[in-house]
Amino acid sequence: MGQSTQMISDVITLNEYKNDGSFLHLYFLDSVDAWVAYGLSAYSLRLFVKAQGCMCLRGFSKKMQMPCTLVGEDAIPLLLQRANVLPSTSDSDLHVRISDAVDNNAYARWACKLKNRHPKFDEDIEVSTPVSKYVPKDRFIPDGMSSFTRQVKRVADCLLAWLALILFSPLFLICYIAVKWEDGGPAIFKQERIGRFGRPFNIYKFRSMRLDAEKFGPQLSHSGGDNDPRLTRVGRFLRAHHLDELPQLWNVFCGDMAFIGPRPERKFYIDQILEYDMRYVYLYQIRPGVTSYATLYNGYTDTMEKMLRRLEYDLYYLGHRSWWLDLKVLTNTFCAIVFGKKF
């Protein structure tokens, strides 16, 4: 890692294009048989190719004063599909504009971190969890499951979700009527979350909050989740017994989610997390879950510190996940719900 980064720092100055925050510059290095990308959009490149499972190496160009990324040749066709302007191309150089360029503020903070400077955050958060030592901070974390085990997990999730939808249909009806009866509003709440490959999807829940719960913008559940003053009386009961999550069985059946996986988050909060820890994008390799390893040990996330702690657990799960670990998480979650544990 260190040797490759130094190599990039020495050679990346070959191309002196002005960086305006949206252009991506790539050229081929014969010495390492790979493409190097740099520019503000190298941040977007990193998110994109990570989501496709491509291996990347993050580095920093001292002279250009900007991050760069070493990518495999398999990433180039994907980038060209995303490009909307190609000002110049050749066999060894690409200069393209990517539509989803990175936010300059988030980029500046990332650049500061790579240069071993401390950016001026509103608060400096140091996160340490029991699994931190197993979660590398300087290299890519691949999915712990093989292709075969992932496929079996998906089939099992689909069958189990279909069975649960049938078995719990009377409970669905009771919860639906209770929510509808309290204030006459919609019983099912849907919200856009970010799932596998960074793609948005609608997550479904039984509505547990008042209709004006977010009139002042996105807000996290606080006070342990079920004591949030925005909760309705029925909603508080549903939240306390985790019944509000039942409609997510449909998300599992449709393939947006799995039973076990990192809890899906809104883009609004993902953008904030990325300003502190870029490793969140590694989670895009797998489907988010109805419950997670992090939920058992970190509970509700109502502060940035808890979000970053949750990320540590999620990354540990990503790198170590297996059928056995999934079964363990599912069993412990079931026991926690039966014995009334508050997440």
Specify whether 152 is located in the same domain as 264. yes
Other beta carbons within 10 Å of 290 = 24
* Higher pLDDT pick, 45 / 216: 45
If you compute the radius of gyration of the chain from its CA atoms, what whole number of angstroms results?
A: 22
The pTM assigned to this predicted structure is 0.67
Cβ-contact 15, 27 below 8 angstroms: yes
Give the range of the structural domain holding residue 293, as residue numbers without chain letter: 147-339
Specify whether 58 is located in the same domain as 189. no
For residue 152, being part of any structural domain is answered with yes
The crossing angle, in degrees rounded to 10, of helices 42-51 and 104-114 is: 90
Specify whether 297 is located in the same domain as 203. yes
For the segment 293-298, the average pLDDT, to the nearest whole number, is 89
Residue 321 has pLDDT above 80, yes or no: yes
* Higher pLDDT pick, 167 / 225: 167
State which of 100, 116, 132 marks the end of a domain: 116
**Residue 11's pLDDT is what?**
34
For residue 121, being part of any structural domain is answered with no
Strand intervals (E) in the chain: 23-29, 34-38, 56-61, 66-71, 83-89, 93-98, 188-194, 200-206, 258-260, 289-291
Specify whether 170 is located in the same domain as 87. no
Specify whether 209 is located in the same domain as 326. yes
- Provide the pairing of β-strand 34-38 with 23-29: antiparallel
Residue 6 has pLDDT above 60, yes or no: no
Question: What are the Cα distances from residue 198, in Å, to 73, 213, 250, 306?
Answer: 21, 26, 20, 22
> Phi, psi (5° rounding) for residue 152?
-65, -40
Residue 130 has pLDDT above 80, yes or no: yes
Specify whether 283 is located in the same domain as 151. yes
Residue 14 has pLDDT above 80, yes or no: no
Cβ-contact 45, 69 below 8 angstroms: yes
For residue 64, being part of any structural domain is answered with yes
Residue 76 has pLDDT above 60, yes or no: yes
Residue 309 has pLDDT above 50, yes or no: yes
Specify whether 201 is located in the same domain as 320. yes
Q: What percentage of the chain exceeds 90 in pLDDT? A: 33
For residue 129, being part of any structural domain is answered with no
d(CA 20, CA 40): 8
State which of 116, 133, 163 marks the end of a domain: 116
Quickly list DSSP for 240-282.
HTTGGGTTHHHHHHHTS-EEESPPPB-HHHHHHHHHH-GGGGG
**Residue 42's pLDDT is what?**
59
Q: Encoding tokens for residue 226?
A: 């079920």
d(CA 23, CA 163): 49
Q: SS3 for 173?
A: helix
Residue 93 has pLDDT above 60, yes or no: yes
For residue 207, being part of any structural domain is answered with yes
Closest CA to 280 of 299, 263, 297: 263
State which of 99, 116, 133 marks the end of a domain: 116
Number of domains in the chain: 2
Question: What are the Cα distances from residue 204, in Å, to 68, 121, 163, 283?
Answer: 39, 34, 18, 21
Specify whether 240 is located in the same domain as 177. yes
Specify whether 158 is located in the same domain as 101. no
Cβ-contact 187, 179 below 8 angstroms: yes
**Residue 320's pLDDT is what?**
94
Specify whether 194 is located in the same domain as 305. yes
For residue 20, being part of any structural domain is answered with yes
CA atoms within 13 A on the CB side of 19: 23
d(CA 282, CA 318): 8
Specify whether 10 is located in the same domain as 88. yes
* Higher pLDDT pick, 332 / 8: 332
* Higher pLDDT pick, 319 / 90: 319
For residue 4, being part of any structural domain is answered with yes
Specify whether 66 is located in the same domain as 215. no
For residue 133, being part of any structural domain is answered with no
Residue 324 has pLDDT above 80, yes or no: yes
Residues 207-265: pLDDT tens digits? 988 877 665 556 666 544 556 677 888 988 988 888 999 999 999 999 999 999 999 99
